[in-house]
Amino acid sequence: MSCCCVPTGAAAAGTNEFFNTQARRYKKYFQKKGLHKEQKLLVDGIRRSGMQDAEILEIGCGVGGLHLSLLKAGAAKATGFDISEQMIATAQALATAMGLQERTQYWHGDFVALHEKAPNVEVTVLDKVICCYPDALELISRSTAKTRRLYAVSYPRPSVFVRWGFRSLKVLLKLLRETFHPYYHEPQQIQRWIVENGFAKVYEKTTTIWLIQVFQRKTPN
């Protein structure tokens, strides 16, 4: 297991600070309850399309529960990127506790800035990450370029209620003087960008808030 750290930059500092405060809570949830519903659906979609011995790239990996679960289910190796140093440190600790330290590596920083460091993999996962990034097109373009076969994502579903909720959360965080805030990108546009990068949708589920999708590359990369 390795962790390579770079400065996150002023634009990412707020996101780093916000998610640093959440790492302990995320770890406790995973240790007590496992994956969240939308994460379980992502795992289901990936497993249906085949992931045995696959190499995983998880962008915005958090404490690592999702890719560590995929490793336990048969994936070969995983690389995690996260902008939060505490999330990365917690993911490392969990990987070690689960005996998976030799099959994982981690990078601290903005994936778009570090994309050249990422390996080309069979499966890329972005769980609730697109809505944390201002330039969704660049994030999708950089990450699909690293993906040979499956591209699995979750992001806010197309709903007036969800759109209103994200806007309200943005206002609340501003009132609390948080420099981080979420972004609601139009779901149809997100799907269009993924398809334009050579993928076709093979799986879709929804929860109250999230749209969960798995796309498969149309031709080998």
Quick: pLDDT tens for 99-140.
Answer: 999 999 999 999 999 999 999 999 999 999 998 888 899 999
Listing DSSP states for the chain in one string gives --EEE----HHHHHHHHHHHTTHHHHHHHHHHH-S-HHHHHHHHHHHHH--TT-EEEEET-TTSHHHHHHHHTT--EEEEEES-HHHHHHHHHHHHHTT-GGGEEEEES-HHHHGGGSPPEEEEEEES-GGG-S-HHHHHHHHHTTEEEEEEEEEE-S-HHHHHHHHHHHHHHHHTT-S-------HHHHHHHHHHTTEEEEEEEE-SSEEEEEEEESS--
Domain that holds residue 199: 3-159+186-217
Q: What is the pLDDT of residue 12?
A: 60
pLDDT above 50 for 152: yes
Residue 181 lies in a domain: no
Among 11-15, 84-88, 144-148, 181-185, name the one with the lowest average pLDDT. 11-15
pLDDT above 80 for 157: yes
Domain count, the chain: 1
Residue 25 lies in a domain: yes
Residue 152 lies in a domain: yes
Residue 175 lies in a domain: no
Residue 83 lies in a domain: yes
Residue 41 lies in a domain: yes
- Domain with residue 193: its CATH number is 3.40.50.150
Residue 107 lies in a domain: yes
Mean pLDDT rounded to a whole number for the chain? 88
Residue 174 lies in a domain: no
